[in-house]
């Protein structure tokens, strides 16, 4: 940093002489800051230590147990199916608390939002933060069947994704069949889809979601939803045991 300051000062002096200069070469070096740190402030260490210990304890808390390794893979996988099923369940539970509100038919979670696989055996809170580091919120969209077909086309283009409540077959990179509730998706009628605010606003090139007729913000953070659901299942003595069911297949 000192070299940079001296360089700027030198340039200022030279420029003040109104002499036209052309820089034809320069040299840069990294100067580690720690060279100037001789001691550690023990008061700061003591101040942070209780919070660090508490955070460490929370991150290592076991909230689930899986009978298999949950691997992220396309066109479908144990991890993508498990998480999208969980989102659909949460969206349906949210809607059911409001009389007259339609129950969502299907769910979509963008593949890129899942950052790591989950291990076989014990799963900690810290692993869920690693898997899902984003502060996304669950939302519910009212979409035309035509826009859901555009979503399906995008899934085929991406060679798979995270979906629940729907079934697709793909042939030569194109959607061959597309069903929700075991019926072909009708382009002319509306459906309710659970997803997250990131893609609802066009993230990951899912611009068709911006054509929605309605958006319902649930106020539920996706990662919090995962942690709470897994904790409840673990407390009830149930292990995670997802299965592949052919919801996205190649012909």
Q: Quote the tokens at residue 138.
A: 């669950």
For the stretch 222-242, pLDDT in tens is 999 999 999 999 999 999 999
Neighbours of 67 (CB within 10 A): 11
Positive/negative CA dihedral, 158, 192, 82, 210: positive
Mean pLDDT estimate for the chain: 88
pLDDT over 70 for what percent of the chain?
A: 84
Statement: residue 11 has pLDDT above 60: no
Separation between Cα atoms, residue 215 and residue 104, nearest integer Å: 12
Domain ranges of the chain: 59-250
Contact (CB, 8 A) for 96 and 85: no
Phi, psi of 148 (to 5 degrees): -65, -35
| The pLDDT of residue 26 | 59
Distances (CA, A) of 140 to 62, 103, 187, 212: 30, 10, 19, 10
Average pLDDT over residues 94-99: 94
For the stretch 153-182, pLDDT in tens is 999 999 999 999 999 999 999 999 999 999
Give the CATH class of 59-250: alpha beta
Burial class (CB in 10 A: 0-12, 13-18, 19+), 178: buried
**Pairing assessment for the beta strands 248-250 and 166-171 based on DSSP bridges:** parallel
Distances (CA, A) of 141 to 183, 191, 209: 20, 8, 8
pLDDT over 90 for what percent of the chain?
A: 75
């Amino acid at each position: 940093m000192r070299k940079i300051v001296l360089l700027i000062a030198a340039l200022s002096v030279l420029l003040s002489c109104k002499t036209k200069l052309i820089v034809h070469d320069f040299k840069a070096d990294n100067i580690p800051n720690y060279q100037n740190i001789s001691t550690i402030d023990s008061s700061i260490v003591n101040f942070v230590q209780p919070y660090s210990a508490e955070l460490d304890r929370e991150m290592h808390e076991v909230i689930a147990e899986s009978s298999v390794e949950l691997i992220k893979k396309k066109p479908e996988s144990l991890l993508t199916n498990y998480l999208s099923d969980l989102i659909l369940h949460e969206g349906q539970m949210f809607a059911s608390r409001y009389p007259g509100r339609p129950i969502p038919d299907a769910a979509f979670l963008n593949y890129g939002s899942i950052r790591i696989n989950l291990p076989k055996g014990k799963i900690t809170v810290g692993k869920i933060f690693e898997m899902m580091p984003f502060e996304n919120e669950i939302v519910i969209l009212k979409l035309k069947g035509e826009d859901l077909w555009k979503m399906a086309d995008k899934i085929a283009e991406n060679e798979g994704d995270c979906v629940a409540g729907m079934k697709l077959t793909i042939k030569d990179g194109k959607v061959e069949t597309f069903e929700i509730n075991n019926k072909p998706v009708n382009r002319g009628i509306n459906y309710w889809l659970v997803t997250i605010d990131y893609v609802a606003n066009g993230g990951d090139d899912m611009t068709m979601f911006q054509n929605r007729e309605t958006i319902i913000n649930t106020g539920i953070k996706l990662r919090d939803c995962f942690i709470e659901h897994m904790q409840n299942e673990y407390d009830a003595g149930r292990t995670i045991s997802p299965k592949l069911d052919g919801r996205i297949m190649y012909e």
